Amino acid sequence: MRFDLGKSCFVDTDVRADAWAVIGADRALRWQQLAEQAHAWAGQAHEHGFAADVPVIVRGHKEAGFFVAMAGALLLGAPFVPVDTIYPDERMRRIASTLGAQTYFDAHSGRFVSLTGRGQGAQMEPVAAASASASASTPPSLHEKNLAYVLFTSGTTGEPKGVQIGRESVAALADWMAADFELGDAPVFLNQAPFSFDLSMYEVFGTLALGGTAVLASRAMTAQGAPFLANLARHGVTTWVSTPSFAQLQLLNPQFSQVGLPALDTFLFCGEVLPVALARQLRQRFPAARIINTYGPTEATVATTWIVVDDAVLAHHARLPIGRAKRGAEVFVDDGELCIAGAHVMRGYLNREDLNAARMFTHHGERAFRTGDLGAVDADGLLFCQGRIDDQIKMGGYRIELMEIDAALRALPDAASAAAVPLRRPDGSVARIVAFVATGSDDGRLPGALHDWKALLAARLPSYMIPSELLACRTLPVSVNFKIDRVQLAQDYRDVHVNAQRQHNG
């Protein structure tokens, strides 16, 4: 069985109906069960007032029910809005308010939950279908029609921005995976990235369209190391999908090898730079596996360019290329910036006409997007991604707008002037984030109201966006164009630490 993304229904329903579709953190579902439960979910959602083009927030972490809800939403024609529990309540509320939503589906309890009340004291209560008045509890339908999902990503203003992805875009994604990735019949995917991170849509749409299996690995499971890998071996995972950072962590474990994972034949990477050293180590540990480096922003449905990183590619490059545009897409460099055109480009950010005007345009009759990535093409036509034009960073694979952290810091008491600063390794990757708050004094002491700054930030930001340290300074330095000089602040941080280290060493 599989899910036809063009027709939005399950097809080939008597073929391998008893094969595993989803191995959730809580329970496993065969294809037959996935189809039945997705239909039942769509019926339930309909009773709660959800319908075609009415977005439905699905919140949870790696439950089989999360997958059921996404498939059910596709059946119903309701764009799903995936929200992992790594996002604090406050962030989910802001997403809900952008959508005008008052109800969401909680994959953990398997119930629709009402977001009643306002502000911090607001309650989240299960809501019964009978009590739900459609007009009161469901968001208005979206202006954009036939969307598959709306995925919220870090926004510079402090508000997450909703990337609207059409059904034609996910169909193009699945067609590309089927045509070029050589994943075989019914691939078994590792799904580890949160569903609120678009990398995970590889496994969602790959599993659905190819009739495969998704093995959902929770944060608790992946933290276990050896048992996590043993679980992947038990389920015969064939296709590893992650950021390079996540694979790098696994190298610490000797079981992460062809012997430990004998069925694994493909590494599918996206989301950040794939370091040459990591690719080399993987070639040694998994001599029979293909390594595919893919590149692309959430705004262009998971990935847009690709290259198989074999020994020849490794021999010729000190920094890996991101390859060539996928079928049906065009990628070009305009004034140093990578631009993407094709049917897989988003319909636009939800309610952000300002951003849409600045970042979207039409190219050869197709939707096109300015990525904000610096790019280049070599004489062979291979594309390279060379960092960012703006203050967006990647840390451990997570996409973070530093200005979103700034906004959260400035909302803290006595922190009207504050900035987040990435500390980079020699290769340019971000090791951690620290933050500075201007106090007008040289004593280096934080205002008393900031003693529990981490807890205050955690109410608003996901854990991966919270700086590891907050330091006081007299004023924040600015560059020639009067932007906060984060490079200078990183240098100040190093100076303070080098001095402290020298004093410590006597």
Q: Enumerate binding residues for ligand AMP (CB under 6 A).
A: 153, 198, 270-274, 293, 295, 297-298, 322, 371, 373, 385, 388, 394, 399
Which is nearer to ligand AMP, 250 or 305 (by Cβ)? 305
Which is nearer to ligand AMP, 80 or 295 (by Cβ)? 295
- Which residues, at least 6 apart from 412, have a Cβ–Cβ distance to it below 8 Å? 418, 449, 450, 453, 456, 457
- Which residues, at least 6 apart from 354, have a Cβ–Cβ distance to it below 8 Å? none
The pair of structure tokens assigned to 373 is 């990535």
The nearest distance, CB 340 to ligand AMP, in angstroms, is 10
Which is nearer to ligand AMP, 218 or 294 (by Cβ)? 294
Look at phi and psi of residue 167 and say left if phi exceeds 0, alpha if psi is from -120 to 50, else beta. alpha
The nearest distance, CB 186 to ligand AMP, in angstroms, is 26
The nearest distance, CB 172 to ligand AMP, in angstroms, is 16
The nearest distance, CB 154 to ligand AMP, in angstroms, is 9
Burial of residue 347, with CB atoms counted within 10 A of its CB: 0-12 exposed, 13-18 middle, 19 or more buried: buried
Report which residue type is found at 316.
H
Which is nearer to ligand AMP, 115 or 303 (by Cβ)? 303
- Report how far residue 192's alpha carbon sits from residue 150's, in angstroms, rounded to the nearest whole number: 20
Q: What is the 3-state secondary structure (H, E, C) of 50-78?
A: CCCCCCEEEEECCCHHHHHHHHHHHHHCC
Which is nearer to ligand AMP, 327 or 445 (by Cβ)? 327
The nearest distance, CB 456 to ligand AMP, in angstroms, is 26
Which is nearer to ligand AMP, 57 or 279 (by Cβ)? 279
Which is nearer to ligand AMP, 216 or 270 (by Cβ)? 270
The nearest distance, CB 226 to ligand AMP, in angstroms, is 28
| Distances in whole angstroms, Cα of residue 389 to Cα of each of 52, 338, 346, 386 | 38, 10, 20, 9
| Helices 64-76 and 31-47: angle between axes, nearest 10 degrees | 60
| Helices 201-210 and 167-180: angle between axes, nearest 10 degrees | 70
Q: Mark 445-457 as b/e (b = at least 16 C-beta within 10 Å).
A: ebeeebeebeebb
The nearest distance, CB 31 to ligand AMP, in angstroms, is 29
- Report how far residue 66's alpha carbon sits from residue 207's, in angstroms, rounded to the nearest whole number: 14
Name the residue among 129, 268, 133, 134 with its Cα closest to residue 201: 268
- Report how far residue 228's alpha carbon sits from residue 275's, in angstroms, rounded to the nearest whole number: 24
Which is nearer to ligand AMP, 237 or 273 (by Cβ)? 273
The nearest distance, CB 302 to ligand AMP, in angstroms, is 7
Which is nearer to ligand AMP, 169 or 298 (by Cβ)? 298
The nearest distance, CB 106 to ligand AMP, in angstroms, is 25
Place of tokens 């060539």: 324
